[in-house]
Amino acid sequence: MTLPSHRRSSRKARRASLAIAVAAMGLFPGDSRAQQPAAPSATAAGTPVTAPPLPEPQNRSAADAYIAGARALEHNESAVAEKHFARAVALDPANKDYALSLAVAREHHLTDLVHNAADARERGRNADAEKFLAEARILDPQNSVIAQHPVPGTPEPRHSMLDIEPRIIPGVGFTDAVVLKPDTTTKSFHIKGDRQDAIRQVMQAFGIKTDFDESAGHQNLRFDLDDTTYSQAVPILFSMSHVFAVPLDAKTVLIAKDTAENHQKFERQVEETIFVPGQTVEQMNDLGNVIRNLFDVKQLTLQQTQGSLVLRAPTDTVKAINITLADLLDGGSEVIVEMKLYSIDTSRTHDIGGQPPQFGAYNVSAAAQQLVSANQTLVNEAISQGLISATDSIVAQAFKLIASGLVSSTLLSSTIGILGGTIDPTTGAVSNEFTTTGITSSSTLTFNLALNSSDSRALEDVQARVGDRQTATFRSGMRYPITTSTYSTPSTAALSGVSVNGQSASSLLSQYLGTSSALTIPQVSYEDLGLTLKATPNVQKSGRVSMHLDLKLEALTGSALNAIPVLASRTLTSDVTVNEGETALLVSTVSKSESSAVTGLPGLTELPGFQVPTEQNVTTDSSELVLLITPHVVRHRASNLAGPRIAVNVPPSSRED
């Protein structure tokens, strides 16, 4: 019986709705209303209201749209499924399966849009990501997932009105040294008289009070200056008077004679801890010597463990020291040394041709005489026992020795024929002792067709960032252990049977040297196989980069000598100067070697047409090495000629009027 088409569509729709409902249970676990049939509504009079039945074509179209949406959702096409489910809901609004399927498809579509936006943002396509999010906002603006992605241009909401506590709470502040505040206007002076009066008048003109130490003294001088400021007039006057000033407050100074003792006695000093981390002990000592000798700082302590310098000096001197150290430590250049190493090694060996058998000839009588002479004792015993007759010939005696198995001869086993005479098999008599010759063959005819080829290519691209005049070391490869000594015990086998004054020499040796004194302890040394590069760049004032390079390439050769592996080493030590960013070719080596061995019949293999039975063994080795160096200056110092200009007045060690 054939069912009507609309019934088949209804069955397909029910199967698809069952699949959609199962998927929807995971998305809407708390919504039980979608899984229960709608309760019949009642009017005020208690009469249930039922929806009018749909026309058959409309019902069939809704079922077809629902099935198409289910298939699209099964193929992960959420946008297409949403369109089909929306059409099914529009055709049959009363069907709750259609509405539930539309919600599921919309949720899948929303999730796909968010995932696409995340993928686009990871690839740097922010504009595409915003398009996906905008489309998702249109589908469901109230979705919690979409709310996590704010709209571009909108201010982020402030979640708390509390002020965030700063990470570092300001501590107790320290006051600066006393700073004078003189008048900044220009003055003119024409003074002739005592220097204390002259100093008092000039300082008073700029609004500064003066107190004199007893060491200031009195001396007549003449001071004439027009239109000068405080910073111009006062240093000139103090230099003429050989005095210096110590601020007592912003408007008062103490004047004393310019001597080292007075500087130590009156001058205000500040204490500062300067941190210089990452410096070695030698570098810390060098910095301390610079501060002591250049700035005449007496009170300086180097704290090696903390990487700091603690010093006491005048304020101007401390400022100058900070500027100098900043230029020494942070003002240097930095260079990236780029090295490219190309290495190609090729080895080819081919063995082609045939090797004929090797023939030899010997005199039968002479060979028999040599065999009998070498075994004369056996011959005498055999004669005494009657195995060999005393009247037998030398050849017969040799044959009987070989036949008894007491003696073996390679000549007999390899003999293929006798020429120049005959041998009596009964008596062993030789017809002619001088011409009877045996012919031997030591091998058979062989044909070879072999090819062995090896090709190794290596590329090293190294980039190392190095400070100016600093040495950087780069190693790439492995540390290979090489045994230099192994366990060994003392041996006295060579002294067996030797005695000294009736005592064994081996026992005396063990008694005085001990059994463990001669034991050899195994030792292993490690060799750096691979690439080792040491580079020391120096940025010149012209912009060129001078580099000291130390390159070493080391590898195993595959052979050993006394169980110790043989190493192949290539070393380059060079000083080169190139422009910044310019590539220099430092090494270019090409080595080739070829060895050939020919095996065949002498003279015959050189004739045309007779080269076929000749074996040729040819080995070809070639090696190519290219080294390129390119420096890149990634950080320049403030000035290529000199550091910053620092003006500082260093107190004299001793000065007299």
Beta strand ranges found along 186-238 (DSSP E): 187-194, 209-212, 220-228
pLDDT of residue 430: 61
Low pLDDT (below 50) residues in the chain: 1-48, 156-174, 516-517, 654-657
pLDDT of residue 637: 72
The secondary structure of the chain in percent helix, strand, coil, rounded to multiples of 5, reads 35, 35, 35
Q: How far apart are CA 629 and CA 234, in angstroms?
A: 58
pLDDT of residue 301: 92
Helix axes 394-404, 376-384, angle to 10 degrees: 90
Q: Smallest Cα–Cα separation from 279: which of 336, 329, 331, 332?
A: 329
Which CATH fold would you assign to the domain 56-148? 1.25.40
pLDDT of residue 644: 58
SS3 156: coil
Q: Smallest Cα–Cα separation from 14: which of 58, 55, 73, 62?
A: 62
Give, in order, the Cα–Cα distances in Å from 129 to each of 74, 134, 139, 255, 553. 26, 9, 16, 75, 51
Q: Smallest Cα–Cα separation from 374: which of 398, 341, 392, 354?
A: 398
Contact 627, 552 (CB under 8 A): no
pLDDT of residue 160: 40
Q: How far apart are CA 424 and CA 13, in angstroms?
A: 114
Q: In whole angstroms, how large is the CA radius of gyration of the chain? A: 53
Average pLDDT across the chain, whole number = 76
Geometric angle at alpha carbon 127, from 124 and 133, rounded to 5°: 105
Strands 545-561 and 564-578: antiparallel
Q: How far apart are CA 283 and CA 304, in angstroms?
A: 10
Answering whether pTM is above 0.95, one says: no
Contact 107, 81 (CB under 8 A): no
Contact 599, 614 (CB under 8 A): yes
Domain ranges of the chain: 56-148, 187-266, 281-331, 357-443, 450-489+516-635
Class of domain 187-266: alpha beta
pLDDT of residue 434: 59
pLDDT of residue 207: 94
Give, in order, the Cα–Cα distances in Å from 341 to each of 286, 336, 463, 590, 629. 38, 16, 12, 14, 9
Structure tokens at 522: 């195994």
426-445 per-position pLDDT tens digit = 665 666 655 677 777 766 77
Geometric angle at alpha carbon 398, from 392 and 404, rounded to 5°: 105
Contact 252, 208 (CB under 8 A): yes
Give, in order, the Cα–Cα distances in Å from 544 to each of 345, 538, 572. 35, 9, 22
Q: How far apart are CA 415 and CA 325, in angstroms?
A: 95
